[in-house]
Structure 1
Amino acid sequence: MTGKASRSPWPGTVAAGGALVLGAWLLAGGGTSGPPAPDGTQGMDHAATAGLLVPPRAHAVPTRIRIPALRVDAPVSALGLDGGGRLEPPAEHDRNLAGWYRDGVTPGQRGTAIMAGHVDLADGPAVFYGLGTLRKGDQVEVDGADRGTGYFTVDGVESFAKKDFPDARVYGRAADSQLRLITCGGGFTAAHGWDANVVVFAHLVRSVS
């Protein structure tokens, strides 16, 4: 992604504006230590995934995402950019709703597809709350409007401070079919919202039409 699309998701005003409401569950005592965070063993190993090319999927707008290890099975909405060039968050009316950056590639196409979801809403954990617990080798399944499905393997899970978000590493172009799942994480304050993002790195391993 380049230009405006290369900016970190939910930094600055977007993160703070949304998290003032979304973190109400945490501040009210619904959570004590925040969402689970990835540990040092979950980092991305680029050498282990080099050369793992499989035929890409054709363009197919994502309609559903499943993450069996987290028991996630959620519909997908399209996300754009706000006036500051930052990725808009999914709507807040449904905790079981993920989003896809509609101006990027679709999951399974050659390149890097971006999907995002809330970590929590005002009344409890949301669709991507458990991303930090995923392990290398876990599976992500994304259905498309073409009625096909792309199957992705998790290569790593990492947490990045919003102020130091590595745009090029997360959003950079890829020769194969890459997928990124992004949510908020780290610490939360009413004044600034969540201070980090949890990112899942995954690549396409097969597809079914």
Structure 2
Amino acid sequence: MRKLLIIKSLFTLLAVGFLSMGCEEKLDRSPYGFQEEDDSDLIAGAIFFQSFTNVGDGTVTDSTSGLMWKTCSQGQVFSGDATSYSCRGASGTLSNPSSFGATELQYCNVDLNACNTLGLPQTLSTTSPIGIAGSSEAYDSCANDNTGGHSDWRVASFLELKYLSSNSRNFMILKFPDTIESFYWSSTANEQDAGGKTARAVSFSRDRFGEDEAFSKTSRYFVRCVR
């Protein structure tokens, strides 16, 4: 835990130092999930994420949007406090080196509009509007979560995930450690898919950060909850 705090502090100081000196040298931060970013991206990220505050109970508040996010992806275990934290559990070890314990979940168990509303935006729901029953692992995972003492967690919408991935990935990692380099389901189905077979997901990987795609609803991807 102390190591993560030291890494965060060093990265922030070095980033500020390079920006102020106009230095062209870049650090290799890849072992810690960081990537090389332009100075303009770092500045934008520093400004954007200054409204995000880690509460210390597994939640992050954003005073700009009014949203509260879970610090960790579904399946991960928060450990730490408001200043030093990770999503690797109390022991600080990796139960799964590739995902830090995060769980891949289905948007729906059938490739139909059985798990989402039909009105725009088409959103995850427990009531099927087509007369065919469906169940959503992603929906249930957030709805049954009580992190921070809250019981109204939900899967983040497409626009909310795009908002979270709209700036520096490096500064996002400082607020949301151990984020998986993969796609995360949004709660939003693909309204352009007349057959209702796909839903929207957003990438949090280094090479495709903020990009989005539509995938089969029965596919499994990671989930981040918000309220």
| Bucket of the pairwise TM-score, normalised by the shorter protein | under 0.3
**Structure-1-length-normalised TM-score:** 0.27
Q: In terms of Rg, which structure is larger?
A: 2
Which structure shows the bigger proportion of residues in strand conformation? 1
Tell which has more relative contact order, 1 or 2 (C-alpha 8 A, sep 6+): 1
**Structure-2-length-normalised TM-score:** 0.26
Which structure shows the bigger proportion of residues in helix conformation? 2
